[in-house]
Amino acid sequence: MKTVEHKNPLKNKTPYILQKIIANVENPEKERSDALFALGKIKSQQSIEFLINQVTIREETLKEQIIWTIGEIGGRIAYDFLKRLLFEPQQLMELRLAAAMSLYSMGHKIEVAPILMKIQDKLHSSRKARKEREKKELKDEDIIPFIEREEKIILYLIGSVSDDILDRLINTIDFLKKKICNKILVMDFSEVSEFRLQQMKKFHIFLMNNTELISKIHFTIKDKKIIESIAKSGFFHGVEIIDKI
């Protein structure tokens, strides 16, 4: 997509002048908003502290854009501030969402992926699709925690793989089926202490009924005993086993 060069009368102003425009609430909001855009564009590191202070001013109406601008400028201080804001439960949801989008835009995708997924899901899903999904909505306790990245979805398993965990794993894969497409589904067994033959068999049967998934699944296993058990079982043929994500 081609980028359009916009005429911004403030584009040649110094950061100090732009800060003065933003700080003066008597100025037209459009001018203050344009000044924020200009600060973000020139990535004015010296303006970060100023912008962070603006977010704490109660009567400031441009907070969401200021948060976005902090992310546009970037850097360590910006990152620390946005992350703190993201996890402050007493903050307004709009501000936390702005922080999530800003962090994502800075490249910290994994940290905000679960929150952004919820936002994107809300934005994308039609009323009909939502109703259908609500009928068979899974609760948090029914699924295994996962993180979605551009090229892979990672499911984290911990402790002993019991029947209950296996059911949740299968629920999660069923839930993720449509999302997988060209992605790799990585099951992280790094923190798994036990994966018994009985559960392996159950999961193997599930995969046999969903053979299209086999080539898309990777196991990450560190424990040599589990690797040996899988090798002995003869299950999961075609599933790639890697030692780290």
Partner 1 sequence: MEVESKILDNSDITIVSVNGRIDSYTNSIFENEIITNIDIGQIKVVVDFTEVSYISSQGLRTVVTALKKSKGQGGFLKLAGLNESVKKIFSVAGLDKVIPIFDSVDAAIV
Site for partner 1 in 14-33 (CB under 8 A): 29-30, 33
From residue 53 to residue 72, the character string flagging contacts with partner 1 as x (rule: CB under 8 A) and all else as - is --------xx-xx--x---x
Does residue 94 touch partner 1 according to CB under 8 A?
yes
In whole angstroms, the minimum distance from the beta carbon of 62 to partner 1 comes to 7
In whole angstroms, the minimum distance from the beta carbon of 188 to partner 1 comes to 25
Would you list the DSSP string of the chain?
Answer: -PPP----TTTTS-HHHHHHHHH-TTS-HHHHHHHHHHHHHTT-GGGHHHHHHHHH-TT-S-HHHHHHHHHHH-SHHHHHHHHHHHT-TTS-HHHHHHHHHHHHHHT-HHHHHHHHHHHHHHHH--HHHHHHHHHTPPPGGGS--EEE-SSEEEEEEEEE--HHHHHHHHHHHHHHHHHHTT-EEEEEEEEEEE--HHHHHHHHHHHHTTGGGGGGEEEE---HHHHHHHHHHT-STT-EEES--
Does residue 119 touch partner 1 according to CB under 8 A?
yes
Q: Which of 48, 73, 82, 97 binds partner 1 (CB under 8 A)?
A: 97
**Sites of contact with partner 1 (CB under 8 A):** 1-4, 6, 29-30, 33-34, 36-37, 40-41, 61-62, 64-65, 68, 72, 92, 94, 97-98, 101, 104-105, 116, 119-120, 122-124, 126-127
